[in-house]
Amino acid sequence: DVQLVESGGDRVQPGGSLKLSCAASGFTFRTFAMNWVRQAPGGGLEWVSSLSGGGGTTYYADSVKGRFTISRDNSQNTLYLQMNSLRVEDTAVYYCARVESRDLLPGTRSDYWGQGTLVTVSS
Amino acid sequence: DIQMTQSPSSLSASAGDRVTITCRASQNIYNYLNWYQQKPGIAPKLLIYRTSTLQSGVPSRFSGSGSGTYFTLTISSLQPEDFATYYCQQSYTTPLTFGGGTKVDIK
């Protein structure tokens, strides 16, 4: 069975850093692109970042560009999100989600999601 | 950025009702439209992709249609397990964008 398990969420002060991890199992990790999607408390879904299966192509939402870095270790079947210069508005549950293809083409979809990890940015 | 607008933002319905949710895109996204279902405290679940293709395991009472800028999600006969929030999402271009969600609750 496909499993995605996020970790690394915590409470951090504004301006701080945090690194999220997403451990994948049950599929050939390197052959799938991956997404990070977040959800603020009581809010809707917001796409954060995408990474191709080989790691060569990345995309970011404008709200996190220059502050967040998506990466992956295909030997460890793990996706990461390095978050720097955190802001109060980054407070959210962060989900990793598998994209159903290796490449980030139009028409892709997130077919499996992790349970999410909570990031709270507060002084 | 492509804006996705869902309506209504919430609705109350009874089991057995036919329910339709609308999603409009601010520009042409062809058929690159996905629908997700989310229940409280649980990760979203993919229901429909490419406008009208049901994800494996999704009941046939769910259906999607549309093209260009106008899309709909229909539940033909609402079941108790369908009370949830539904999101549309365009996958035509980045930034990937979601609609604001439609909460379906019990009348």
pLDDT at A107: 86
Is A33 a residue whose pLDDT tops 90?
Answer: yes
pLDDT at B106: 86
CB A67 within 8 A of CB A58: no
Is A83 a residue whose pLDDT tops 90?
Answer: yes
Q: Which residues of chain B have pLDDT under 50?
A: none
Tokens 């969420």 correspond to: A9
pLDDT at A105: 80
Q: Which candidate from A107, A115, A116 shows the least CB-CB separation from B32? A: A107
For B67, the token pair is: 């093209």
Q: Which candidate from A47, A107, A113 shows the least CB-CB separation from B43? A: A113
Averaged pLDDT, A6-12:
98
The strand pair at A18-25 and A78-83 is best described as: antiparallel
Give percent of chain A above pLDDT 70. Answer: 100
What is the identity of the amino acid at A42?
A: G
Are A46 and B98 in contact (CB < 8 Å)?
yes
Q: What is the mean pLDDT of chain A?
A: 97
Calpha distance A100→B29 (Å, rounded): 19
Q: Could you tell me which residues of chain A have a Cβ less than 8 Å from any Cβ in chain B?
A: 35, 37, 44-47, 50, 59, 61-62, 95, 100, 104, 106-111, 113-116
Is A30 a residue whose pLDDT tops 90?
Answer: yes
Averaged pLDDT, A9-14:
98
pLDDT band at A31 (very low <50, low <70, confident <90, very high): very high
Is A50 a residue whose pLDDT tops 90?
Answer: yes
Is A104 a residue whose pLDDT tops 90?
Answer: no
Are A108 and B92 in contact (CB < 8 Å)?
no
Are B97 and A47 in contact (CB < 8 Å)?
yes
When mean pLDDT is compared across A45-59, A95-109, B87-101, the lowest value belongs to A95-109
How far B81 CA lies from chain A's nearest CA (Å)? 19
pLDDT at B107: 85
First to last CA, chain A: 40
pLDDT at B6: 98
pLDDT at A16: 98
Going by C-beta distance under 8 Å and a sequence separation of 6 or more, which residues neighbour residue B1?
Answer: A62, B95, B97
Averaged pLDDT, A52-58:
93
